[in-house]
A and B are shown apart, each in its own frame.
Chain A
Amino acid sequence: MAEIVSLPDAVADLVHDGDVVALEGFTHLIPVAAGQEIIRQRRRDLTLVRMTPDIVYDQMIGAGCARKLIFSWGGNPGVGSLHRFRDAVQHAWPVPLELEEHSHAGMANRYVAGASGLPFAVLRGYRGTDLPAHTATIKPITCPFTGEQLVAVPALNPDVTIVHAQRADRAGNVQMWGITGVQKEAVLAARRSLVTVEEVVAELEPRPGAVVLPTWAVTRVAEVPRGAHPSYAQDYYERDNDYYQAWDPISRDRDAFTRWLDEHVFAGAASPQPAVSAGGGPGASTPTNAGSTS
């Protein structure tokens, strides 16, 4: 049964140096507050896993938490590149970042295999691309009935998966709705899991399109209102598009990034969610004029 704890306690309990850690959430419900808590607790040598590493992974990579990234698309959606990610790949700053690169279909199936207790998944993917030449975790497999050659990818079984959801009840049952991406698979594939939620409620009312994770399939739940900001939580708050725009100039510059980290992540150690301001931007002192970033 899931235990309901604070975010700092949950991260301290579940995330250890050297772990394989997946934060999932496909545009919607990205567990940003949890990622920043991992930065604040100064975890190191993590293998970060995520289909779509975006701002929160840019922050974690820039803060030096990661030694490896397993992913399929890394960018600042609607804006451009992840500059901390690029700086790590191209200049090993602040530490080198090893890449294990897949397609979305491959990553999704790796989580499916992980959730299913299988060592691998099969797909009709990667054919003719240059990915298999650079990614050891893509191998051919032959159908024993038709002889057709397909592709196998190994299961992903993170040490910890972290996702964000709209609600949990007091027993720790979790409910999310809207675009729910690969979150169920990522949680079920993991050895341990943390779900941050907008609110803990007395009872989960059934809702159209809701995915429910029973409490016995989750390790910890932490109530973190606006824990997905600057991404969105359907029926709670909208995506903060200005934040994504404003991130670009901060992340382009090592000093600006380091300042941001000190002011908006580390300085907030005493308060629960310092980097998650209600306003529109990564920090009050940040210009949010998107036009200045081009």
Chain B
Amino acid sequence: MAETTHSHSESPEEFKKHLGKYYAVFVALICLTAITVGVSYLKLESRGLAIAIALVIASVKAGLVAAVFMHLIDEKKVIYAVLILTALFFLLVLGLPSLTVYEHGPAFQGQ
């Protein structure tokens, strides 16, 4: 496991190398936030497109935070296993809304 970047055996000097990565992610996050807000001021015709763009950007940002700040990029297998399981059930929960209305037919008034 010694090859992982965050192994405990790293000396302080070696560790310093990572700092640049953190700053870079910080800048990226701020820029992406700016882009999201900027796009929203465009008042896109298609709301679907606006939602898609915003959510994609948010996912990229979340990915950066998780991968770098939470150093998921090189994590141990157990944690991946737990997260994969969680992701699976998370998708299931995200499916609930469509199940709630799915096939309830034209009679469903949704309000």
- Check if A and B associate: no
Chain B residues engaging chain A, CB cutoff 8 angstroms: none
Chain A residues engaging chain B, CB cutoff 8 angstroms: none
